[in-house]
Amino acid sequence: MPLLDPRLQKRLDEKLADLNALRPFNPAHVRKLREQLEIEMTYNSNAIEGNSLTLRETFLVLQEGMTIKGKPLKDHLEAKDHMEALDFLYELASQDSSTISEHIIRQLHQLVVRETEAEWAGTYRNGPVIIGGADHTPPDAADVPRRMEELMRWLKIHQKTLHPVELAALFHHKIVFVHPFFDGNGRTARLAMNVQLMRRGFPLAIILKNDRKKYYHVLEKADRGNEAAFVLFIAQSVERSLDLYLRAFSTTRNGELLTLAKASRGTAYGAKYLNLLARTGRIDAFKKGRVWYTTREAIVRYRAERLRARE
């Protein structure tokens, strides 16, 4: 049974089709948006794991080559390593292949920790690990190679039957569940997930630092067998990136973004109810920081869908 809500899946597919219809894009605009998303991805992915650089500081380190006073050298190196891994990710995404291999996962990991964990870069762990604050205990190190081989077989079987977003989300979780490396598992999983997504035409999907607690919460739910919550979480991250691209390149789909409180005025729905709809993916909404936004057009579409469902 599919884990991705059919309404959200339909919305994702429609937005991807709209985005593809806008191609070819202006190369200068693509380059600028890619740079923006790479900085965002590097900042957020590293910050989730405890990196202390701010978004602005990450930009200065990567684009201006600056050293931030008072910030650890390790944090600077992690930012540079992650950017190198992103460059490799874009190279992988451009290749005409739908399969990601163990070798590619290890290459991504090697780049992510090249300057901070050089001894173990690209190498499976040979000892136990503990995930702080989580109930899940990863498999024994001796079992990691077999579990990764099983993961690759799972991917080969399901890549033609599952929706790309659902496949990428489950793939992400399964990598973290095995926890094949001593460090850098989360960053590697988020990159590997994006290889899957971008090869199917989706833009780079970013998990925000502001959603860190929710991210870990839905990962833990997936560990216990409830993978639907994690698939929804990842699908909303994918939709956010689609919205960013559509707003950058489309001149017809840019309804005014309103806070949920403003959007609810004059409608049959309160702001709290719209928040529930946004968090559960049932309405077209966009998250900035910790605040959800939507458009009046999205509310009209949702109401029309509800009326049709009652007929």
Q: Map out the domains of the chain as residue ranges.
A: 6-254, 256-311
Class of domain 6-254: mainly alpha
Q: What is the pLDDT of residue 254?
A: 56
pLDDT digits (tens, 9 = 90+) for 187-217: 999 999 999 999 999 999 999 999 999 999 9
Buried/exposed code over 43-74 (b: 16+ C-beta within 10 A; e: otherwise): bbbbbbeebebeeebbbbbbeeeeebeebeee
What is the number of helices (H) and of strands (E) in the chain?
13, 3
φ, ψ for residue 30, nearest 5 deg? -60, -45
Residues labelled as active-site residues: 179
Residue for token pair 């874009």 = 90
Q: What is the pLDDT of residue 98?
A: 60
This model's pTM is above 0.85 = yes
Q: What is the pLDDT of residue 285?
A: 83
Query: What residues in the chain have per-residue pLDDT under 70?
Result: 96-98, 251-254, 311
Q: Could you tell me if 252 and 244 are in contact, meaning their C-beta atoms sit under 8 angstroms apart?
A: no
